[in-house]
Amino acid sequence: MDKLKSIVEACDIILKIGLAVAAFLFVDKAQQGFELQKQQVELQRGQAENLKLQAEHSKIQADQSKIQAEATKTLADVQSTTRKDDAALVQVIVELLFKQNLQCRTEDQMVLISFLGEMNDSYNKVKLGERVAGAFGKRRECLASQAADEDAKLVKTSSNGRIPLVTRENIQKVLEPLLHDAEFKSAMGAAFIKHRHNGAAGYVALGRPAGEEDFVNFDLLTTKRKHNNDVPDGSLMMANVPVYLRANRGSTDEGRNPIIGQIAEHKCAEAIDTFPNTRGQTWALVKLADCPEVKKKKGDG
């Protein structure tokens, strides 16, 4: 009987141990299932966050595309406006330079044409170049200008009704009757009177700067233009266009600056005194000189 009781108790203990092991294994499986479910939830949450980020990125890309499209439209509008402005500026130039091509222009009018060309070349893709004013100064024929007619009145009286071409050889002959005229003498610039004994022949407009060293109306043969558009005294210069030789460096639009004669294209003069920034250009008191047979480059020996 005791033996049977021992067997029953042993079986009970084994059963309890089996139940305990089974319970442990069940709990462990349940815990693993819970952890797996937790990981799946985290994964799904991460996927949701990723989808949210993708959606936000797509929105940002859409906004950027919209901004780029608006910027492209704005640029196109600006370019269209610029082209219209360019066309308007070109039209002004055409009107001023070509449709009035038979009108004579004084030195002060030509400097405005130079300035207009510079403005065009700064903002317009269609470049006119620095010599545009000089090119129009080369016209051999033009209709009369009231200011030029008034300024040429004295010299025409003493030169058979024409404005003479002046050279180193004939300048004294041209000046002689003018220097006996009270109106001409009263119009002579102070520097002209001061330097008459040094061979001063009159004043010329060098024009606005052209290139790095020269001017629209004259090239400097032996020196370089200074940073303030001045010219060293004694500089030898060659005319690029026919240039009036005048009694003073005052306005050429008022009929009060007598013309002495005209220096022909490719003829030379020597600077005695210079006056930069005179109504937008440089003027010089000069004496007429012979040109070198070959144009000397600045810096040549």
> Are 54 and 185 members of one domain?
no
The answer to whether the beta carbons of residues 178 and 193 sit under 8 Å apart is no
In a domain, 116, yes or no: no
pLDDT at 46 > cutoff 70? yes
| Amino acid 11: pLDDT | 67
Cα–Cα distances (Å) from 268 to 27, 209, 236, 276, in that order, read 115, 18, 7, 19
Q: What is the pLDDT of residue 183?
A: 95
pTM of the model: 0.63
Residue 33 has pLDDT above 50, yes or no: yes
Give yes or no: residues 274 and 159 share one domain. Answer: yes
CA distances from 20 to 26, 142, 195, 215 (A): 10, 125, 131, 112
- Report the domain count for the chain: 2
235 inside domain: yes
On the 0-12 / 13-18 / 19+ scale of CB atoms within 10 A, 169 is: exposed
Residues 165 and 270 placed together within one structural domain of the fold: yes
Residue 104: inside a domain: no
Q: Does position 123 have pLDDT exceeding 50, yes or no?
A: yes
Residue 140's pLDDT is 43
* Residue-level pLDDT at 203: 98
pLDDT score, position 40: 76
Domain-embedded: residue 18: yes
pLDDT, position 1: 65
- Cβ distance 111 to 215 under 8 Å? no
Contact 154, 176 (CB under 8 A): no
Asked, for residue 298, whether it belongs to a domain, the answer is no
User: Does residue 173 sit in the same domain as residue 273?
Assistant: yes
pLDDT at 155: 96
Looking at the structure, do residues 180 and 284 belong to the same domain, yes or no? yes
End-to-end CA separation in angstroms for the chain: 143
Place of tokens 């300024």: 151
**Angle between the N-to-C axes of helices 146-158 and 171-179, in degrees from 0 to 180, rounded to the nearest 10:** 100
Residue 195 Cα distances to 176, 273, 287, angstroms: 16, 9, 10
> Residue 299 has what pLDDT?
47
**DSSP states of 96-156:** IIITTTTB---HHHHHHHHHHHHHHHHH-SS---TTHHHHHHT-S--B--HHHHHHHHHHH
Res 261 pLDDT > 90: yes
DSSP 290: P
Half-sphere exposure of 278 (CA within 13 A, CB side): 20
The answer to whether residues 191 and 87 belong to one domain is no
User: In terms of domains, do 189 and 275 share one?
Assistant: yes
Statement to judge: residues 281 and 177 lie in one domain = yes
pLDDT digits (tens, 9 = 90+) for 64-116: 667 666 666 665 555 555 566 666 766 666 665 555 555 667 787 776 777 77
pLDDT per position as a tens digit, 183-202: 999 999 999 999 999 999 99
Q: Measure the CA–CA gap between 168 and 268, rounded to whole angstroms.
A: 9
- Indicate if 89 and 26 belong to the same structural domain: yes
pLDDT at 54: 77
Tell me: the pLDDT tens digits for 145-188?
A: 788 889 999 999 999 999 999 999 999 999 999 999 999 999 99
The answer to the question of residue 109 being in a domain is: no
Task: Determine, yes or no, domain membership for 68.
Answer: yes
Q: Is residue 129 part of a domain?
A: no
- What are the beta bridge partners of residue 214? 210
CA-angle at 220, arms to 219 and 225, nearest 5°: 110
169 lies in the same domain as 269: yes
Span 195-211, average pLDDT? 93
Q: What is the mean pLDDT of residues 221-228?
A: 90
Nearest one of 281, 282, 284, 283 to 115, comparing CA atoms? 281
Domain boundary among 67, 99, 131: 99
For residue 130, pLDDT beyond 60:
no
Last residue of a domain, one of 61, 79, 99: 99
- Whether the CB-CB separation of 182 and 99 falls below 8 Å is answered with no
CA distance 72 to 127: 27
Confidence of residue 141 (pLDDT cuts 50, 70, 90): very low
Sequence letter at residue 257: N
Average pLDDT, the chain: 79
| Domain co-membership, 165 together with 256 | yes
Shared-domain flag, residues 155 and 285: yes
Q: 35-39, 210-214, 275-279 — which one is most confidently predicted on average?
A: 275-279
**248 is in which domain, residue-wise?**
145-289
- Classify the C-alpha dihedral 207-265-263-95 as positive or negative: negative
pLDDT of residue 301: 43
The whole-angstrom distance between residue 246's C-alpha and the CA centroid of its chain comes to: 33
Does the pLDDT at position 298 exceed 60?
no
Can you give the C-alpha Rg of the chain in angstroms?
46
Residue 204 has pLDDT above 80, yes or no: yes
